[in-house]
Structure 1
Amino acid sequence: MQEIMPFVSRHPILSLAWIALLVAVIVMTFKSRFSKVKEIARGEAIRLINKEEAVVVDTRSRDDFRRGHLANAINLTASEIKNGSLGELEKHKAQPIIVVCANGTASREPAENLSKAGFEKVTMLKD
């Protein structure tokens, strides 16, 4: 504990980097805890699709979507969702929505935008 202050004074940039990293982790943790959009695993997604008629929104590019996608998935890019160009998805506002992407990390922003657009139960596939 006594070595912390001398370390900080000798390595201010490294110390600031560690503080910034700690703040980023705390902010991301709070953001995910209090978000209306929840992450779900594959098993929960299958249950939502089979039991609650969830709609899958695939946010990958048109080419990737054409190469292969989940059955009955709707392809909307993140920019289309952000602009409010929801097309056939508009009629599914009361149904659960599962947002998927190529790698499991790019679906948070489109999912948040759908939640703001009035969709009641928006989730995102984490894998």
Structure 2
Amino acid sequence: MEQYIEFIGNNAVLSIIWLALVAMIVMSWFKSKFSAIRQINPQQLTLLVNKEEGQVVDIRPAKEFNAGRIAGAVQLSAEKAKQSDFAGLEKFKSKPIILVCTTGMTANGIANNASKAGFEHVYVLSGGMGAWQNANLPVATGK
């Protein structure tokens, strides 16, 4: 034990950095465990839609949405979602909504807005449409 105390005394900066890293890891773990927003894969998305009446909300631009989307998805512009304008989606507040973008990055920020707007079960498709297509799952096209 004396060696630890001596080490900490001789390497105060290193010890502080180590403690900070441990604290950040613990905080990150707690945040992920108790966050209202969950990352899901394409198979989990399919289960949510089929078993829990989940709604897929695609936040990509209309051109990308029309070129290929998950069947049954509704399109909501990212600009509206960033302003917490979820008009037309109020009926899904107590059901799972799954946000989809191109890579899964944009959807994370919008998921926070959806959660703050009162949506109880918010999910993000990890990897976005790229993950969906890489899993060779069906894509609907057209308007």
- Same-fold call, TM cutoff 0.5: yes
Structure 1 residues 26 and 75, CA gap change in structure 2 (3 angstroms): same
Cα deviation, 1:9-28, whole Å, max 9, x if unaligned, reads xxxxxxxxxxx999877765
1:109 aligned partner: 109
Preserved contact between residue 57 and residue 76 of structure 1 (Cα < 8 Å) = no
Gaps of 5+ in 1: 1-19
Alignment RMSD: 3.0
Q: Secondary structure at the match of 2:88?
A: helix
Looking at structure 2, the residues matched to 106 and 42 of structure 1 have their Cα atoms a distance apart, in angstroms, of: 17
Q: Secondary structure at the match of 1:107?
A: helix
Q: After the TM superposition, list the runs of 4 or more consecutive aligned residues in structure 1 that deviate by more than 4 angstroms.
A: 20-30
Deviation at 1:54, TM superposition (A): 0.4
1:15 aligned partner: none
Deviation at 1:92, TM superposition (A): 1.3
Structure 1 residues 106 and 116, CA gap change in structure 2 (3 angstroms): same
Structure 1 residues 35 and 86, CA gap change in structure 2 (3 angstroms): same
Normalised by the size of structure 2, how large is the TM-score?
0.65
Larger CA deviation: 48-57 vs 64-73: 64-73
Looking at structure 2, the residues matched to 97 and 53 of structure 1 have their Cα atoms a distance apart, in angstroms, of: 9
Cα deviation, 1:5-62, whole Å, max 9, x if unaligned, reads xxxxxxxxxxxxxxx9998777655543432101111111100101111000111112
Normalised by the size of structure 1, how large is the TM-score?
0.72
Structure 1 residues 59 and 21, CA gap change in structure 2 (3 angstroms): farther
Cα deviation, 1:98-122, whole Å, max 9, x if unaligned, reads 0111012221111111011001111
The reply to whether residue 76 of structure 1 matches residue 77 of structure 2 is yes
Spell out the pairing of 1:23-102 with structure 2 (5 A cutoff).
Answer: 29-73=29-73, 74-77=75-78, 79-102=79-102
Gaps of 5+ in 2: 1-19, 128-143
2:120 aligned partner: 120
